[in-house]
A and B are shown apart, each in its own frame.
Chain A
Amino acid sequence: MIETNFAAIDWVIVAVYLAGSLGMGLLAMRYIGRLRDFLVAGRQVRLGLLIATMTGTEIGLVTLMYAAQEGFSRGLSAFHIGLIELVCYGFVGLTGFLIFRLRREGVMTIPEFYEKRYNRPVRVVGAIILTLGGILNFGMFLRAGAQFVGGVTGTVSVETINLIMTVLLVLVLAYTILGGMVSVVITDFIQFVVLSVGLLVATYFSLKAVGGWGQLVETGLSARGEGFLNPLAHEEYGFSYAFWMVLVTVSSATMWMPSVMRCLSAHNPRTAKNVYVWSSISFMTRRVLPAVWGACALVFILGVPQLREVFLEVPEDQRKQAVLAMPIFLGHVVPTGLLGLLVAGMLAGFMSTHDSYLLAFSGVITQDIVSPLRGGRLSDRGRITLTRVLIFVIGVFLLIWGLWFELKGTLWDYMALTGTVYFAGALPVLVGGLYWRRASSTGAMLALLAGLVALAPIFSVSLNEHKRTIALLAFAMAAVLMVVFSLLFPDRPKAEDEN
């Protein structure tokens, strides 16, 4: 049992925050009229709120956990992923690559665009793969949240942690089911403010605890070698890894449903572009600051014999998971009171990610799988009801998957792989659909299916060692299949095109 500074007052701070957040979320219920109010807040969301909600969603607790784990395991080299995110999101924002045209299409989901451009089967298959990759990706969030709460509070049992996470999930389900996207953007806004303060507080106390930047670098280099600072010298990084990260980041920026729903909620296409430009700073922040905490956690743990033993000295199969290093470290170095505020901020991140993801994926299943299979014969009221039921069902899945599934590698690698299942196919399908007249339904269908290759390393330990190669192969295969089969099997011109 490892004690931390988390005390009764911190629990009170967390409880007050959660109650307030839920109240604000439920307030939004009265504004839901149409389906588009529920899914995309009536397309009335302006720039400031869009940036807040996008940041609130994408700086989730799991993001902070995996970014910190990278810092703990791979040192300050992990910063390079933050630079990649800054450049990629900035590029998408400045050029409008994919998102400008997508917003102009006036669709509510990406698979909806697939039907508009290709045909209904591509929409349904695309939606199934999107949902599969997305929900698998989502599946680890609850466990990561539980690990954070357990680590930072230090003295709570596994059963109590699971109960806390279940309660949190129920709270999120409540306001998301009832208020949809309107609840989501309001609670995300509150969470953005609280979380932003938490990020800066944690960074300050982390660096203070290890004696500053110089000491961090000196100790880190001595413990981890040159790879602590140089990403090109680190065996887990290098050029091919960076290239994979560029593909994943551009794909995520333009096609990851929870982010893209912000774009599709924008007042107009120009606003959608501006969101990405300004949000690129947040995306860099979400990688860099937690990586500092993780690296500082390494230095701190090296100085505490009890922690050094369980994290670094015992045989590898007996070690505490690296992902726990950051929460245990913060639990020791952040003072009581401020720690409660920090945890409230982190739980804010947890909730804001969950509400957006639940809404995004349930919306896709309703709009892009069930409704097309029923020939579009589903009323607005029916769609809202179905979406609400699916939010609940996905929530139950998260509980089960989070308890059962064992990770084969690091948390970030799992995220990148499950993302690749969807991105590998969706990237050429969307790029082809928006920029290439000759992109065909046959090419699109095969490209989407190629992404399933990335499932293999998720479930196999031996294949997990080759995850980078398999992921890049999935992207390459999808692109080739798209081009070759579009040329070999062009679509017949549609009646309206002939007219």
Chain B
Amino acid sequence: MGLILDKVPAIIEPIPGGSIIVTTIDWAINQARANSLWPLAFGTKCCAIEMLMATGAAHQDMSRFGAEVARHTPRQADMMVVAGTIVKKMAPRLRLLYEQMAEPRYVMATGSCAISGGPFMYNSYHIVRGVDEIVPVDVYVPGCPPRPEAFFWGLMTLQKMIKQGESIRHPGTRRKPVLAALPHGVSASDIRDEIARELERENEIVLSEAAEARPWAKKVREWIQTQSSAQ
């Protein structure tokens, strides 16, 4: 794997047609990574029941997304699903677990406690308000607790991110797709067209109206009036 990532782009890309090979390798690696995300079973509280246990069970099945193998050791996991409240006593352990995971690693913050502290945000002396104060988060899944279907939405968003975002040309950089967050019925070209229209409208000048708005316009008009009435 290291050979492909380090040496291949530099050797193959200068060859005419080499970028096709590099993008195909990109595509293959991203497909493999996205379709076999192994979660680290890190659940502290109620979200763990819905996110890790209910989704692992038969009714909502996590293994149809390739994520069935929930490892308990960070050395063998790709994705850390932070399901539950993180408190100050637990925070150093969370950071340790994150650092023990091997690259490429992803973090999904599920549940409102992991996103922002949740119901315990105010008046609690022991809570960490959001797990993104400790580890960099890729996907946020809101809910208290989120339904297992919401967890799958988050998983699919992460899969989309991986398939679109990473490239062996720039290993370690991830591009979060804006496209995954768009609401229904809106596409990127719609947004582009609307921005262009608004800019044009802002920059349009109707000369006659602009002239009327000047302070000397009133005096000119009055002078014309006096001239025409004088005649």
Q: Do A and B come from one complex?
A: no
The residues of B with any CB-CB pair to A shorter than 8 Å are none
